[in-house]
Structure 1
């Protein structure tokens, strides 16, 4: 977005809005001017089709201007002279003009709507794809409902502008110019009288546009709040929370207040345009009266009745294209708030992205030798590093266990291996290649992660597993499920692997969901396994069975395991004990116990 000297949207200064929510700096930034040139670039790929539309509009407008002259000939010639043949020809000409302009209108509407929908599609997919590339940090600080609102409400609100603006400008401008030329040909004196309405109409329109833009920005923020309330209040987890905490009435009241504010904003938006339309209607209605009075003065001595009627018909027709042009101006200005919100997301920098000059890596040949070299990482806004100066060497095919108290940095290290974030200092390599020098697709093929928070899609068990490997066969899916000790459970379901898991997998227990997540990861056959509390929700018996499967599958792979239960990591080749982001001890289970240090204390606890 281009910088501007404008401050805040009207009515959104540094004070709480109704409902108690403070307008943030990011929301104020949405009031910035958006370059019309940048909006115009959205239509660049469709220039040839737009040119065809404009040509059809110009042709339609020129053809349509024949009607007043045909009407004048009917009144001044055909009727007084009772020339039936001429009258039939003129009437046929009127019908032909109407038919031709209608045909032009249908075709140009189809083309322009198609162009508009393709631009909308491109915006939606560009925003969605760009957000997919954002780091985890973006999603931890952004409300899910806000993201959904940008993609649905904001882009949806631009539909009429994107779909019809270009053709509306061309159609109304062409019609207005052709009408003015025809009026000048009939009587240039009366034309000057007609155009006296333009200055007040333009001033009224500019005022309405400014008001509507501020209201549009406020509406979109309120819609985002509404989306957040729906997402938080009607998700499975949200409903469970409100039912167990008895907060349902408060959530309903919050939704009601937000919906009421939308009513007020919509009323203000509509009324902002209605009084302008009412004022212009009065002004345009006064012009024919002035013309009729003028016809009785010397000005009208040389004017025929046919000319007068044809002129007033054109003058009445001029109201529509001029009003249309002014309405387009209002729509464009008010829609700038929507474009600002969309471009704000499109302009977000990508923190974790493919390198400009990636190192070619063949995931199938990766050995999985992981090395942490003086790795340091601090979360944005935090003054304390989550991990600091960590150096660890995990040879290919070996097992590293990370243990420590909550908040010691274990999960942060796991996220760095999967490149959910990049270290702020030091480097992490696999087979000697810095993760930041690899293509993300290659890295995800090498590193597989099972976290303590399992997310299942609202689809079948089979498709949930296939999400990790879209081309996986049914046999491969079943083999992965057997390895994760979850095949028997799936087979016992009413529809087996075709059973729908339900929203976020809530029809399964925590242990069952984690075993499904383990199977999903194993289906990809990664060379490096990162198990972040992967068995934390399993009972002792199931955990033992899954651990045996992991022991089998870990042969030949590099495995980094994070666990609170030390029984699951005692056989690891190396155990690193973390405390406040630093490695304080390292060795095998027996070695660490013999030192009687931090690990021994954890084992005793």
Structure 2
């Protein structure tokens, strides 16, 4: 990677020097040709002009291949790192982050950060290299002209670094915030537009969106004006340097006049590129700072540095587990989950049943008590290993706006079509697949909008089964389903008992009666628990019948 970057920088410098050489050699050739020397005296210059003309394009093309390869590789690494930060911090690390803002950081900010190499660092390297080489060549002809060029270059560098970068910093940072707000408001409007229009509540969102757009436009306009002023100052400095050389320099052969006088003009392109680099620097720094904030997100669960391998046994045991947040905790829960066993979790809304489910898949830690999988404490197991064995199908699992196949591959990237069709058959989606002309390639829309509520729930269940988990947790699997569809869903879940331990979280009496036992999840502040022994298994009708 570093060798590619060094080679790209060398080729980029060669391309920039070829542009400089093309201009200065052409200037010498024109002046010398005016003296009507023998044509052989001009052959070296003629060949040099051709070489610099062709070399400029060839070197630039090769430089772009190498440096963009490095920049794009870094961008991929940065984006993966951003995803890892989000994955590490979920579900408790993003309480104040809006969805659109997160998208802006992962997409726009990562893309902007690659400009630090391509449009900031490399232009400075090329500009400094060009200035040094041109100054050295001119110093060989006229030391006075060389001093003028040094002063001209330093003046332009100062304008860029201290003038433009400082002037646009506030606007660039504000534009970055406006873009984040615009992304967040756009995401809200895109996902809730129907409801907002139905309730007549879209106006505040559209107003904030338009305000963010106008704010970003004003910032970009001011930044453009400042960049234009900077470019004008560089042009003025170039003209002043040329005039100063014309009046103050002397003592060199007349044939060198074109070379000396056009030297400041030859540096115009690299100096303007530095100006553009400094215009972009605040925006790139703001993007990097926003990405760095993702590094500061706290991970709710910290895995051990040397995790114990997963045990063979799938027995999951909870001993006095208290789950929840600072303001909402459950009473201690104790239960044993074994293969073929179905346990229900009951309790009033908001008591912490779903939070307990997140604790079982090691997304958040227990506040008290212990969990053990196959006799090994959760604290000694890696979270990814736990989630490979214990799977959760939430009541609002996310379905992506892509095909059925790609939604299933979230659980098993290497799964083939036969495996996918098998799990779809097991969850009762075979008729849906057969009536879809595209089959597994059917696009299901945003959040599965083209599917019914039951079909979305069954697709989430199929994804869970495809992951080959041994402990299955279903959070409100019959929510929003009619009685007949709910009964069929429960029957399908019960058919999975062979080879799996199953946890059913539900308010429905029909669902809980189908369980072998029910654990009542109760708040410690509840003065009237639903059972005499909250948090302990309760015998159900299904268990009594067995």
Structure 1 counterpart of 2:401: 458
- For residues 326-337 of structure 1, the aligned pairs below 5 Å read 326-337=275-286
Q: 1:307 aligns with which of 236, 256, 281?
A: 256
> Are the structure 2 counterparts of residues 587 and 95 from structure 1 closer, same or farther at C-alpha, using a change threshold of 3 Å?
closer
1:265 aligns with 2:209: no
- For residues 350-389 of structure 1, the aligned pairs below 5 Å read 350-352=299-301, 354-362=303-311, 365-367=312-314, 369-379=315-325, 382=326, 384-389=327-332
Once the two structures are superposed, residues 171-212 of structure 1 have per-residue CA deviations (whole angstroms, 9 ceiling, x without a partner) of: 221111011111111111233344444554444331321232
1:412 aligns with 2:355: yes
C-alpha contact (below 8 Å) 1:120/1:162 kept by paired residues? no
1:103 aligns with 2:58: yes
Please tell me the root mean square deviation across aligned C-alpha atoms, in Å.
Answer: 3.1
1:588 aligned counterpart, secondary structure = strand
> Are the structure 2 counterparts of residues 347 and 188 from structure 1 closer, same or farther at C-alpha, using a change threshold of 3 Å?
same
Q: 1:83 aligns with which of 35, 38, 41?
A: 38
Give me the whole-angstrom Cα distance separating, in 1, the residues matched to 2:67 and 2:82: 23
Q: CA deviation at 1:333?
A: 4.8
Structure 1: gaps (5+ residues)? 1-45, 592-605
Give me the whole-angstrom Cα distance separating, in 2, the residues matched to 1:312 and 1:247: 66
- For residues 470-481 of structure 1, the aligned pairs below 5 Å read 470-481=413-424
**Mean alpha-carbon deviation: is it higher for 276-285 or for 181-190?**
276-285
C-alpha contact (below 8 Å) 2:389/2:469 kept by paired residues? yes
Q: CA deviation at 1:509?
A: 2.2
Give me the whole-angstrom Cα distance separating, in 2, the residues matched to 1:103 and 1:171: 16
Q: CA deviation at 1:332?
A: 3.5
- For residues 196-345 of structure 1, the aligned pairs below 5 Å read 196-198=151-153, 200-205=155-160, 206-235=162-191, 238-294=192-248, 300=250, 302-345=251-294
Give me the whole-angstrom Cα distance separating, in 2, the residues matched to 1:113 and 1:495: 38
1:566 aligns with 2:509: yes
Structure 2 counterpart of 1:520: 463
C-alpha contact (below 8 Å) 1:124/1:151 kept by paired residues? yes
Structure 2 counterpart of 1:23: none
**Mean alpha-carbon deviation: is it higher for 449-458 or for 145-154?**
449-458
1:161 aligns with 2:116: yes
C-alpha contact (below 8 Å) 1:571/1:589 kept by paired residues? no
> Are the structure 2 counterparts of residues 306 and 256 from structure 1 closer, same or farther at C-alpha, using a change threshold of 3 Å?
same
Structure 2 counterpart of 1:509: 452
Give me the whole-angstrom Cα distance separating, in 2, the residues matched to 1:516 and 1:460: 11
C-alpha contact (below 8 Å) 1:112/1:164 kept by paired residues? no
C-alpha contact (below 8 Å) 2:152/2:238 kept by paired residues? yes
Q: 1:120 aligns with which of 75, 78, 98?
A: 75
> Are the structure 2 counterparts of residues 280 and 463 from structure 1 closer, same or farther at C-alpha, using a change threshold of 3 Å?
closer
Query: Could you tell me the TM-score, scaled by structure 1's length?
Result: 0.80
Give me the whole-angstrom Cα distance separating, in 2, the residues matched to 1:276 and 1:532: 60
Give me the whole-angstrom Cα distance separating, in 1, the residues matched to 2:23 and 2:402: 60
Once the two structures are superposed, residues 3-37 of structure 1 have per-residue CA deviations (whole angstroms, 9 ceiling, x without a partner) of: xxxxxxxxxxxxxxxxxxxxxxxxxxxxxxxxxxx
1:190 aligns with 2:190: no
Give me the whole-angstrom Cα distance separating, in 2, the residues matched to 1:59 and 1:477: 55
Give me the whole-angstrom Cα distance separating, in 2, the residues matched to 1:344 and 1:402: 37
Once the two structures are superposed, residues 236-290 of structure 1 have per-residue CA deviations (whole angstroms, 9 ceiling, x without a partner) of: xx12212321233443333222111111010111112221222232232123223
2:428 aligned counterpart, secondary structure = coil
1:552 aligns with 2:495: yes
Q: 2:102 aligns with which of 147, 150, 154?
A: 147
C-alpha contact (below 8 Å) 2:477/2:489 kept by paired residues? no
**Mean alpha-carbon deviation: is it higher for 407-416 or for 203-212?**
203-212
C-alpha contact (below 8 Å) 1:366/1:446 kept by paired residues? no
Superposition misfits of 4+ residues, deviation over 6 angstroms: none
Q: CA deviation at 1:525?
A: 4.1
1:128 aligned counterpart, secondary structure = helix
Q: CA deviation at 1:488?
A: 3.1
Q: 1:449 aligns with which of 384, 392, 403?
A: 392
Structure 2 counterpart of 1:584: 534
Aligned residues: 534
Structure 2 counterpart of 1:40: none
Query: Could you tell me the TM-score, scaled by structure 2's length?
Result: 0.88
